[in-house]
Structure 1
Amino acid sequence: MHTTKSDPVTMVVTAHPAPGNQKEWEETLTNTIQASLKFPGHLGTTVLKQESTRKPTYQIVLRFDQLENLERWKNSPEREHWISKLHALEHCPPAITHNTGLETWFELTHHDEQQPVEPPPKYKIAVIVWIAVYASVIPVINLIRPHMTELHFLISSAITTSITVPLMTWVMIPLLSWLLKGWLYPENRKT
């Protein structure tokens, strides 16, 4: 995928705190996230924790509005300070990937391996996004349409999309990705 400097970018870090260091590692991660929030273009951080009998796995998803702002954070002395503290508490070096576009919604899977997992084929992404859009838009339109009959079409459309886009992004896509992970990642079911 061709990326321009103005495209939003996502950095996904898969990390494994060393046994006995988990609480201190989590506290250090919280401080790292707090430091990153002060940087321009930071769009949010999500931390997913998967308990494992072998080792706990954390996936940290950082989103920035453009590559330049992510690079500013990555090259900052603040990040270097906190990352060195995290690395001292980790079982092994973290796996890091950078992505743009819709495939970042499907990058996170529930596996213990450190190797990055390939995103699903584009046709599977299209099917999941279509289901998410359909399941988000139809109920919202039917619920709020009676309350917006007096509003101009552009205003009512803006209200509708301001509800459906977050619903699709943070509820429907993650839920569908989890429910259909066997179909999205069939090769990983064998491992």
Structure 2
Amino acid sequence: MSSRRLIVGITGASGAAYGIRALELAQAAGVETHLVVSRSALLTLNQELGLQKADLAGQADMIYPVADIGASIASGSFPTIGMLIAPCSVRTMSEIATGVTSTLMSRAADVALKERRRLVLMLRETPLHLGHIETMGALTRMGAIIMPPVPAFYAKPQSLDEMITHSTARALDLFGIDTGAVKRWSGLKDALAEEAT
């Protein structure tokens, strides 16, 4: 059993591939993964990736029903390095910000905050109205990190898969998980020198 445990949440926002890639990268890095998937995420996983609920078996060390408020990850006594929600819907973000813990998803996130553990939300919404922005501000003050999956074009991605991997690996960086999948910025000087040769 790994000494590092990461909770991964997948909500119904577009971008289900971020959650699946997070599980793959974390497990490859030797991190024990605990997965919770919202009901609407099951629809998105099918729509975007062609995955059914049964296909999630084996994607994580433990998978919990979203209604299982009695799960181990619902308690602060269960040690983890934190929680990544990828992608994170506005609904889930809002529940966390207001302390509403109606599902295991929002309860596990609330636990991460109260235990002062890392909570990273890969928010998938655009454009944003003032309510969204104020909610993000409130969560930031509470200790969460808001990390929309913005492509790093300096890495010169050649495919959608590369963009997904880079963004997800950068999110895992925030937990101290080095997946080896991030194309690190080496400085503009090096980049210009490379172009000149």
Q: What TM-score comes out, normalization by structure 1 length?
A: 0.27
Question: Taking structure 2 as the reference length, what is the TM-score of the superposition?
Answer: 0.26
Whose helix fraction is larger, Structure 1's or Structure 2's?
Answer: 1
